[in-house]
Amino acid sequence: SQQGEEDPQALSIQEGENATMNCSYKTSINNLQWYRQNSGRGLVHLILIRSNEREKHSGRLRVTLDTSKKSSSLLITASRAADTASYFCATVSYNQGGKLIFGQGTELSVKP
């Protein structure tokens, strides 16, 4: 079963604009991870934020985590056409063999 919901399910923006995706989860976590998947390809790990962190940056990516609301957001600044992909948040269930529990994903389309 999926851990939570991602919002929006689909997002279409112009190149240069910022894209914000939100993720909610249900259980307590040690960390939350974001992955990107280009159509039909493998998932690429983007960034991991620990439960004791509130914000983390990596290049054009900014992730926030609010454990009190069980939510996270991923901001991609100055988006490019190459950012077009599906983005998933995931938590890890360590008492279920380290299983990644993914959100439903946000499909991002960046138009040139």
Partner 1 sequence: EAQVTQNPRYLITVTGKKLTVTCSQNMNHEYMSWYRQDPGLGLRQIYYSMNVEVTDKGDVPEGYKVSRKEKRNFPLILESPSPNQTSLYFCASSPGQGVSYGYTFGSGTRLTVV
Q: Which residues bind partner 1 (CB under 8 A)?
A: 2, 30-31, 33, 35, 40-45, 48, 50-51, 88, 94, 97-100, 102, 104-105
What single letter denotes the amino acid at residue 41?
A: R
Q: Of the two residues 50 and 111, which places its CB atom closer to partner 1 in the complex?
A: 50
Nearer to partner 1, 40 or 112 (CB): 40
Residue nearer to partner 1 on the CB measure, 43 or 76: 43
Q: CA 71, 76, 77 angle in degrees (round to 5)?
A: 135
Q: Residues 52, 56, 57, CA angle at the centre, nearest 5°?
A: 170
Question: Maximum CA pair distance of the chain?
Answer: 44
